[in-house]
């Protein structure tokens, strides 16, 4: 049995949600807790603003540069594709990866733009073939509650109308991708309560046993 002979890989976990739903905070807490179980874990964030594509994305998000809707969309996607080999290497070495935003944000934010230039279907296409997560944690929060949190409103997409569309599109996309393991988390709760919900879901993933080979693409 090839599977039994090969070493188990790390899990690929994605955290998604609206702006200010607490993704980065929760990713950090989850990584710490996983580390506390003597497991190797790596945090990855998209967009990765440190690469060449990431710098273009950063300028766009901060309103310092304009981009055609399709072009910026494909840059966000390229920013993920350029990270794939590194991710697969980490997983194969037994490291669990916690990703702060992924393809789902990619498709949903572009399709939510007010000019309606891009369909969700078009936006999803360049994401096809990226490693699929073993678990997606969707941090669900109403846009009214998200607005109340610090720093909201500084970047391009941080407008309430846009966030309402984003939330609807996330739910629509996840309902179509029913082969994925997507778990809804009530992110309107206090920090520790959100972390506890996430930890219970993580423990179930761990209990379901290790994964082998590359994740499906
Ligand atoms: N985007 C992204 C695309 O259009 N296409 C793509 O392909 C991708 C990947 C930037 C933008 O890019 C878009 C989506 C975004 O509009 P980003 O860099 O992930 O994406 O955005 P950030 O600004 O870094 O992060 P967010 O705004 O999404 O915030 P988080 O990470 O969800 O929230 P966090 O943890 O930083 O918390 C925000 C504030 O809330 C407090 C925190 O202390 C902090 O002040 N907070 C809570 N307060 C009360 N109760 C809780 N439970 C709280 N949890 C956090
Ligand atoms: Na943001």
The ligand minimizing its distance to the Cα of 185 is: 1
Q: Ligand 1, closest atom to CA 17?
A: 32
Assign 2 a pLDDT band (cuts: 50, 70, 90).
low
Overall average pLDDT of the 185-207 stretch: 98
- Residue 152 confidence (pLDDT): 65
Q: If you measure from the C-alpha of residue 114 to the centroid of ligand 2, how many angstroms do you get, rounded to a whole number?
A: 18
**Ligand 1 nearest atom to the CA of residue 191, by list position:** 52
Under 8 Å between Cβ of 166 and 108 = yes
Greatest pairwise CA separation for the chain in angstroms: 55
pTM of the model: 0.96
**What local confidence, expressed as pLDDT, does residue 154 receive?**
80
Q: Are 61 and 128 in contact (CB under 8 A)?
A: no
**CB-defined site of ligand 1, < 6 Å:** 17, 19-25, 46-47, 61, 76, 101, 105-106, 109, 149-150, 155, 157, 190-191, 194
Cα separation, 102 vs 46, whole angstroms: 6
ipTM: 0.96
pLDDT for 206 beyond 80: yes
Whether the predicted pLDDT of 93 surpasses 90: yes
- Rounded CA-CA distance 111/166 in Å is 8
**CA-closest residue to ligand 1 atom 21:** 19
Tokens standing for 170?
A: 């996330």
Name which of 131, 73, 142 is nearest 97 in CA terms: 131
Lowest mean pLDDT among 19-23, 77-81, 143-147: 143-147
The alpha carbon of 1 and the centre of ligand 1 are apart by a number of angstroms equal to 43
| pLDDT tens digits, one per residue of 145-193 | 988 887 667 889 988 899 999 999 999 999 999 999 999 999 999 999 9
Q: Tell me the CA–centroid distance for residue 203 and ligand 2, in Å.
A: 28
Report the SS3 class of residue 154. Answer: coil
pLDDT reading at 68 higher than 90: yes
Cα of 155 vs centre of ligand 2, distance in Å, is: 6
């Amino acid at each position: 049995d090839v599977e039994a002979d090969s070493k188990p890989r790390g899990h690929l976990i994605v955290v998604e949600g609206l702006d200010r739903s607490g993704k980065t905070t929760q990713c950090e807490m989850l990584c710490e807790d996983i580390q506390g179980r003597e497991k190797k874990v790596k945090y990855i964030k998209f967009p990765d603003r440190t690469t060449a594509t990431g710098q273009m994305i950063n300028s766009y998000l901060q309103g310092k540069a304009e981009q055609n809707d399709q072009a910026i969309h494909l840059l966000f996607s390229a920013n993920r594709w350029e990270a794939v080999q590194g991710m697969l290497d980490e997983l194969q070495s037994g490291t669990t990866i916690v990703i702060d935003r992924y393809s789902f944000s990619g498709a949903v934010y572009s399709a939510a733009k007010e000019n309606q230039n891009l369909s969700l279907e078009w936006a999803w296409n360049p994401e096809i073939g990226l490693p699929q997560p073993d678990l997606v944690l969707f941090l669900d929060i109403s846009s009214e509650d998200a607005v109340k949190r610090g720093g909201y409103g500084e970047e391009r997409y941080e407008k309430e109308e846009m966030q309402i569309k984003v939330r609807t599109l996330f739910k629509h996309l996840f309902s179509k991708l029913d082969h994925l393991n997507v778990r809804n988390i009530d992110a309107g709760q206090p920090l520790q309560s959100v972390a506890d919900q996430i930890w219970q879901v993580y423990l179930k993933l761990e209990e379901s046993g290790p994964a082998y080979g590359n994740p499906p693409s």
